[in-house]
Amino acid sequence: MKEIDLRSDTVTRPTKGMLQAMMTAQVGDDVYKEDPSVNELEQKLADMFGMDEALFFPTGSMANQAAIKLHTQPAEQLICDKWAHVYNYEGGGVSFNSGVSCKLLDGDRGMITAEMVKENINPPDFYHSPLTSLVCLENTTNKGGGACYDIEEIKKIRKVCDENSLGLHLDGARLFNALVKKGEDPKVYGKLFDTISVCLSKGLGTPMGSVLIGNKDLMENAIRVRKVLGGGMRQVGFMAAAGIYALDHQVERLAKDNERATQISEVLNQLSYVDKVEPTETNIVIFYLKDTSKETEFMGELSKANVRISNMGQGKIRIVTHHDYTEEMHQFFLKTLKVISL
Ligand X SMILES: *Cc1c(COP(=O)(O)O)cnc(C)c1O
Is residue 80 a contact partner of residue 102, using CB atoms and an 8 Å limit? Answer: yes
Q: Among the candidate windows 59-67, 233-241, 308-316, 319-327, which touches ligand X by CB under 6 A?
A: 59-67
Residue among 58 and 186 whose Cβ is closer to ligand X: 58
Tell me: does residue 12 bind ligand X (CB under 6 A): no
CA 70 to chain CA mean position, Å? 19
DSSP string for residues in 91-154: TTHHHHHH--EEEEE--BTTB--HHHHHHTPPPTT-TTSPPEEEEEEESS-TTTTS----HHHH
When binding is defined by CB under 6 A, the residue of 69, 71, 85, 330 that contacts ligand X is: 85
SS3 at position 8: coil
Residue 325 beta carbon to ligand X: minimum distance, rounded to whole angstroms: 17
Q: Which is nearer to ligand X, 144 or 167 (CB)?
A: 144
Stretch 242-261 residues interacting with ligand X (CB under 6 A): none
Q: How far is the CB of 171 from ligand X (least distance, A)?
A: 5
Provide, rounded to whole angstroms, the least separation between the CB of residue 42 and ligand X: 17
| Residue from the set 54, 199, 268, 302 that interacts with ligand X by CB under 6 A | 199
- Residue 142 interacting with ligand X (CB under 6 A): yes
Of 59, 101, 262, 336, the residue at the interface with ligand X (CB under 6 A) is: 59
- CA end-to-end span of the chain, whole Å? 23
Q: Which stretch binds ligand X (CB under 6 A): 58-66, 152-160, 224-232, 245-253?
A: 58-66
C-alpha closest to that of 174 among 149, 209, 204: 204
- Select from 48-56, 60-68, 159-167, 176-184 the region that touches ligand X (CB under 6 A): 60-68
Q: Which of residues 207-226 bind ligand X (CB under 6 A)?
A: 210
| Residue of 86, 144, 152 lying closest to 283 (CA atoms) | 144
Q: Is residue 2 exposed (0-12), middle (13-18) or buried (19+ Cβ within 10 Å)?
A: exposed
CB-based contact 22:235 (threshold 8 Å): no
281 binds ligand X (CB under 6 A): no
Q: Which amino acid is at 79?
A: I
Q: Which is nearer to ligand X, 230 or 272 (CB)?
A: 230
One-character DSSP codes across 235-256: STHHHHHHHHHHHHHSSTTHHH
The reply to whether 61 sits near ligand X by the rule CB under 6 A is yes
Q: Can residue 173 be called a binding residue for ligand X (CB under 6 A)?
A: yes
- Do 179 and 282 touch, CB atoms closer than 8 A? no
Q: Which residues bind ligand X (CB under 6 A)?
A: 59-61, 64, 85, 138, 142, 171, 173, 199, 202, 210
